[in-house]
């Protein structure tokens, strides 16, 4: 069984091959040129995907020592994401599937992250909790089977990654903010400033907008411009902000783990690359005596391996999709039960 995965929802073009359950290729081309704009420029993203998709497919097939005729099923991200960017990988995958007369599986990007724990050596066991923390989403899922997902809660405003990106911008560190905040936080004191951690009435929900405003007010209280703040103080702000985000994520995951009988805790999405969050998540699992699964760094950010894997689980469930299935920009999932 050979599965091809294609991801193009935002600023990474990625192609992956899973052959007989083994990942044989996971090529990721990141569009670093967006950094100078301080965020992703949708039209430029679509154009870059068009340039990269064919060379990546060729390389991925070569690396996997297969011919394209040997591909049994083609999976591509259907959404959520930038619609122009999604259309590139999605229509390319669909065209390839039609030309090879093979099934085409549209994959939800968030579900890709959600199941990325299965790309680890140590696999999650059902039922499990999966905390997906990315640039656009922060969602806590209770997963009973590949097709039974229960959304326990999500952010009511900014996503965790979005908060990292915005605070990084405020501090003049640039884009993407997550890795930059983490680097500065390593040099700062997380206990220096007590930023608020939202405690919402709705269980398992998150809010990072108040925290973001608190950081802004703190910066403003120190002078008229961020350049007036010393590097040491910026590092303390980064560390204290990071601490508050992680605290919120860990508290709600801990609450859910106590309420739902789970065998594993999974952390996924771009923010899962954060080393302090990874360590806090493992600590939580140890405390509750539940196995934790956190994908390797290459599977945290956007990648096609998770898309191929998720598509493969749907294919294994015997599911098929109409060829006129359309990509979508917002969040939706066929497998959610509330």
Nearest approach in angstroms of CB 57 to Zn ion is 20
CA distance 104 to 235: 47
Contact flags string 235-274 toward ligand KG4, x per CB under 6 A: ----------------------------------xxx-xx
Q: Taking contact as CB under 5 A, which single stretch among the options 128-136, 197-205, 215-223, 274-282 is the one that binds Zn ion?
A: 128-136
Q: Is 274 in the site for Zn ion (CB under 5 A)?
A: no
Paired tokens of 209: 């907008």
CB 128 within 8 A of CB 253: no
Give 36's contacts (C-beta < 8 A, 6+ positions apart).
Answer: none
Q: Is 161 in the site for ligand KG4 (CB under 6 A)?
A: yes
CA distance 172 to 239: 15
Spatial strand order in the sheet of 12-19: 22-30, 12-19, 2-7, 73-79, 104-108
Contact flags string 165-204 toward ligand KG4, x per CB under 6 A: x----------xxxx--x----------------------
CA distance 91 to 195: 45
Q: Which does 42 bind (CB under 5 to 8 A by kind): ligand KG4, Zn ion, none?
A: none
- The residue from 7, 233, 252, 302 that contacts ligand KG4 (CB under 6 A) is 302
CA distance 190 to 235: 9
Nearest approach in angstroms of CB 74 to ligand KG4 is 21
| Terminal C-alpha separation, the chain | 33
Helix axes 160-170, 177-185, angle to 10 degrees: 70
Helix axes 83-100, 42-63, angle to 10 degrees: 30
- The residue from 12, 233, 236, 302 that contacts Zn ion (CB under 5 A) is 302
Q: Taking contact as CB under 5 A, which single stretch among the options 82-90, 229-237, 298-306, 315-323 is the one that binds Zn ion?
A: 298-306
Q: Is 135 in the site for ligand KG4 (CB under 6 A)?
A: yes
Q: Which does 179 bind (CB under 5 to 8 A by kind): ligand KG4, Zn ion, none?
A: ligand KG4
Q: Is 208 in the site for ligand KG4 (CB under 6 A)?
A: no
Q: Is 106 in the site for ligand KG4 (CB under 6 A)?
A: no
Q: How far is CA 66 from CA 2, 7, 58, 99, 165, in A?
A: 9, 20, 10, 17, 40
In the region spanning residues 11 to 30, those forming contacts with ligand KG4, defined by CB under 6 A, are none
In the region spanning residues 98 to 117, those forming contacts with Zn ion, defined by CB under 5 A, are none
Q: Which of 79, 2, 87 is nearest to 53 (CA)?
A: 87
Residues that bind Zn ion (CB under 5 A): 134, 302
Residues that bind ligand KG4 in the complex, under the rule CB under 6 A: 10, 134-136, 161, 164-165, 176-179, 182, 269-271, 273-274, 301-302
């Amino acid at each position: 069984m050979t599965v091809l995965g294609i991801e193009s929802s935002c600023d990474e073009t990625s192609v992956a091959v899973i052959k007989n359950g083994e990942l044989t290729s996971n090529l990721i081309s990141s569009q670093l040129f967006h950094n100078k704009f301080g965020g992703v420029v949708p039209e430029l993203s679509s154009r870059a995907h068009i340039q990269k998709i064919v060379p990546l497919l060729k390389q991925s097939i070569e690396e996997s020592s297969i011919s394209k005729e040997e591909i049994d099923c083609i999976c591509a991200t259907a959404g959520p994401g930038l619609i122009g960017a999604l259309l590139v990988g999605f229509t390319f995958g669909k065209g390839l599937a039609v030309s090879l007369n093979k099934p085409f599986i549209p994959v939800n990007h968030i579900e890709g992250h959600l199941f990325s724990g299965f790309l680890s050596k140590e696999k999650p066991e059902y039922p499990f909790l999966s905390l997906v923390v990315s640039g656009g989403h922060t969602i806590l899922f209770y997963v009973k089977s590949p097709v039974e997902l229960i959304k326990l809660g999500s952010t009511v405003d900014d996503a965790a990654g979005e908060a990292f990106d915005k605070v990084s911008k405020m501090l003049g560190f640039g884009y993407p903010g997550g890795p930059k905040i983490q680097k500065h936080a390593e040099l700062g004191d997380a206990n220096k400033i007590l930023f608020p951690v939202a405690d919402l009435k709705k269980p398992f929900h998150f809010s990072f907008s108040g925290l973001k405003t608190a950081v802004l007010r703190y910066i403003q209280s120190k002078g008229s411009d961020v350049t007036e703040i010393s590097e040491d103080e910026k590092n303390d702000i980064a560390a204290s902000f990071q601490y508050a985000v992680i605290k919120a994520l860990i508290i709600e995951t801990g609450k859910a783990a106590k309420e739902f009988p789970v065998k594993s805790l999974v952390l996924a999405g771009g923010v899962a690359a954060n080393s302090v969050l990874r360590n806090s998540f493992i600590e939580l699992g140890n405390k509750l005596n539940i196995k934790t699964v956190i994908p390797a760094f290459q599977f945290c950010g956007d990648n096609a391996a998770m898309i191929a894997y998720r598509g493969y689980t749907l294919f294994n469930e015997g599911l098929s999709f109409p060829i006129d299935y359309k990509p979508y920009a917002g969040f939706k999932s066929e497998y959610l039960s509330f």
